[in-house]
Chains A and B, each alone.
Chain A
Amino acid sequence: MQAPLPLGSRPPVLRMSAVDKVFGADIVALKGMQLDVNQGDFISLLGPSGCGKSTALRLIAGLMTPTTGRIEWSGGTGQGDLGVVFQEPTLMPWTTVAKNVALPFRLRGKSGAEVADAIRNALDLVGLSGFENAYPRELSGGMKMRVSIARALVTNPRLILMDEPFAALDEITRFKLNNDLLDLKTKTGCTVIFVTHSVFESVFLSDRIVVMAARPGRVIRTLEVDEPYPRAEAFRTTPEYAAHCRAASDALHDAMGIAA
């Protein structure tokens, strides 16, 4: 629970330098990816399909290795704790909400009062206190996603990766979860890399937007959204928000133009 530090003075978490990923012999999914992630950052990877944003996420998660280039974690200790939220809630249907959230601890053989506290705390943060013993099927789509988020942050990870987590939800639920995610970021000071193809979502949530283009997947522009957190719902109607959306939208058009 640390207070957000000003930009520029945050300790580094992760650096991707000149990362290429090639599938098969000649499909370049990602070319020359450069990314510095610092503690407390909320970074959006914004781009059309096939721009390599999910590939970048999978590389950071350690689910695949770069063809060339390096991904270095500060301290050199490897990724350590990492939270992941997928596009689907990806819960285990055969067990309860509490046990789903407990999964990261369970896989490390941890249990006890500390773990129980962490689970209670995580469920409280996503607004699901009292649903510990519910089964996933009893929850709505938005609530399932909240459980997924609780699982990602229950270990208080150094970095949370989110791969279009709200893309499958209706707009009302999506806006609500956007607001709640920002609340969560303010409360926990967590560091997030958020993959999306929504300009509005990326501007509302992030302090940095990395715009990517396809064929080959690469970064074409990085935009700073230097608006202070916490951001309220009212931020969506400010001229600053509109300006940032315009800039991000232009960058995205450039990305599509190059790709076409």
Chain B
Amino acid sequence: MTIASDAPTPTMDSEELRRARLARIQLVAKWTLPVIVMALTLLAWHLYVTINEVPHYILPSPAMVFQTMFTDWGLLSAAAWVTTKLSLYALALAVIGGVALAVLFTQSKWAEMSFFPYAVILQVTPVIAVAPLIQIYVDSAFAAALICAWIVAFFPILSNTTIGLKSADHNLRDLFTIYGATRWQRLIFLDIPSALPFFLGGLKIAGGLALIGAVVAEFVIGRSGTGLGLASTLLEASYRYNFARLYAALFLISGLGIMIFAATSLISHLSLRKWHESALNRES
């Protein structure tokens, strides 16, 4: 039954070698595969348009979109800057409002009972239905759009942070009581650090939602020639059958979304990497 072998014990058996090789390949593939997919898609798009001679007011070729990005850069970059500001301000205000309200809710049960239902109502009412009203009452189109984007972005921050602030280990809570911690100390040294992973999860969602809120608001509010950001530009381009500009604006919106996601993910990783399970590199 025994298998005799004269070979010295290898430092790594074949299974381990295979696993290591696979890990290396995966690392490279993780970056190269999406790039290849992107290149192939653009190529297929280009060939489809040129071979079938699709008119540019139906589908512009990627080269044309790229060219428009340059020729219209003045207009597009200005619009992109507006949308970026809109999204980031909305996100910042969502963080301030969401965290402040979450702290209020966890410090006072009465406040939570009184106001939480209204936070939910604000969240479940589609912002697109509220936007026209906001447009009537708020003079500045930018401010009106900002309010819309804020409404959409703030709820995940509020909801996640509220749960997070209540999630501290109950034994640690007891320990803080035994050591006579003040309410303030409990908040700063226990509840806020415990809430951090939850807050950062909410931040990632809110980052995406801030952009969606901004785009929706621009569609509704920017329509009347207020010349807001990328979404207004996109809508206007569609009216003019300027599809190259439409695609260019669309790509910029996508790019903005990716950047916001990357930034919030980076913030999350940097804040948690030293201690939280979600950010640890596990060696298998």
Contacts and interface: CB of A to CB of B under 8 A. Distances in A.
A, B from the same assembly: yes
A137 B282 CA distance: 12
Nearest to A58: B174
Interface stretch (A88-96, A139-147, A211-219, A229-237): A88-96
Interface range for B: 20 to 34
Question: Which of B171, B177, B277 has most chain A Cβ within 10 Å?
Answer: B171
Given A90-B169, A107-B180, A84 B275 contact: no
Nearest to B274: A135
Contacts, number: 53
B171 A62 contact: no
A135 B169 CA distance: 17
A61 B276 contact: no
B180 A108 contact: yes
Nearest to B168: A92
Contacts of B177: 62-63
A95 B272 CA distance: 11
A94 B193 contact: yes
Contacts of B174: 58, 61, 63, 84, 86
User: Main SS of the interface on chain B?
Assistant: helix
Contacts of A58: 174
A107 B181 contact: yes
Contacts of A137: 275, 277, 280
A82 interface: yes
Interface in B178-233: 178-181, 185, 189-190, 193, 196
Interface string B2-30: 00000000000000000000000000000
Given A92-B189, A104-B179, A106-B189, 18 more contacts: A58-B174, A62-B177, A63-B174, A63-B177, A63-B178, A82-B178, A84-B174, A90-B175, A92-B172, A94-B275, A103-B175, A103-B179, A103-B189, A107-B180, A108-B179, A136-B275, A137-B275, A137-B280
16 contacts: A61-B174, A62-B178, A84-B175, A86-B171, A86-B174, A90-B172, A92-B189, A93-B275, A93-B276, A94-B274, A94-B276, A107-B176, A107-B180, A107-B185, A108-B180, A136-B275
Interface of B: 169, 171-172, 174-181, 185, 189-190, 193, 196, 274-277, 280
Nearest first, the 6 closest Cβ-Cβ pairs linking A and B are A90-B171, A107-B179, A94-B193, A86-B171, A107-B181, A93-B275
